Chain A
Amino acid sequence: MGVGSFFTSRLDEAIGWARKYSIFQYPFVTACCGMEYMATACSHYDVDRFGAGLPRFSPRQADVLFVVGTISHKMAPVLKRIYDQMTEPKWVVAFGVCTCTGGFYDNYATVQGIDTIIPVDVYIPGCPPRPESVIDGLMKLQDRIAVGAQRY
Chain B
Amino acid sequence: MASATETPPAPTEATSPAARVLKEALGGEVLKVEEFRGDLAITVVPSAWVRAATLLKTRPELDFKLFLDLCAVDHLDDEDRPKRFEVVLHVYSVSGKHHARLKVGVSEANPRLPTLTGVYRGANWFEREAWDLYGIVFERHPNLTRILTHHHFVGHPMRKDYPTAQRHVLPDPQTWLLKVPEGSEHLVVNIGPSHPAMHGTFRVQALMDGETIVDAAAEIGYMHRNFEKMAEVRTYWQIIPYTDRLNYCSSFMNGHGWALAVEKLMGIHAPPRAEAVRVILSEFSRIMDHFVCIGTNIVDLGAITPFFYLFRVREEIYDLLEACCGARLTVSYVRIGGLAQDVPEDFADRCRRLIDSVRKYTDETDRLVTRNTIFARRFKDVGTMPAEEALDWGWVGPCLRGSGVAYDIRKDHPYSGYEQYDFDVPVGTVGDCYDRYLVRLEEIRQSLRIIEQAVAKLPGGPIIVDDKKVALPPKEQVYSNIEALMNHFKLVYEGILAPPGEVYGYTEAANGELGYYIVSDGRKFPRRLKVRPPCFNIYQAYPEMIKGGLLADAVAIIGGLNVIAGELDR
Contacts and interface: CB of A to CB of B under 8 A. Distances in A.
A106 to B, nearest CB: 7
Contact of A73 (B168, B248, B249, B292): B168
Contacts of B225: 70, 72, 98, 105, 107, 109-110
Nearest to A44: B315
A109 B222 contact: no
B305 to A, nearest CB: 11
Contacts of A105: 225-227, 230
A82 B173 contact: no
A62 B525 CA distance: 46
A55 B221 CA distance: 25
A128 B566 CA distance: 14
B500 to A, nearest CB: 26
Contacts of A82: 194
Interface stretch (B3-11, B276-284, B306-314): B306-314
B157 A31 contact: no
Interface string B379-401: 00000000000000000000000
A35 interface: yes
A74 B195 CA distance: 16
Interface in B150-196: 150, 157, 162-173, 193-196
Contacts of B330: 32, 127-128
Contacts of A127: 330
B112 interface: no
Contacts, number: 120
Interface in B294-330: 307-308, 311-312, 314-315, 318, 328-330
Interface residues of B, number: 49
A31 B245 contact: yes
Contact of B172 (A69, A70, A77, A98): A77
29 contacts: A28-B194, A30-B222, A31-B200, A31-B223, A31-B248, A31-B565, A32-B244, A32-B245, A36-B328, A39-B318, A43-B312, A44-B311, A44-B315, A72-B223, A73-B169, A74-B149, A74-B222, A76-B170, A78-B193, A98-B225, A105-B227, A107-B165, A107-B225, A107-B226, A108-B164, A108-B226, A109-B157, A109-B225, A109-B226
Interface of B: 149-150, 157, 162-173, 193-196, 200-201, 221-227, 229-230, 241-242, 244-245, 248-249, 292, 307-308, 311-312, 314-315, 318, 328-330, 565-566
Interface of A: 28-32, 34-36, 38-39, 42-44, 57, 69-70, 72-79, 82, 98, 104-110, 127-128, 130
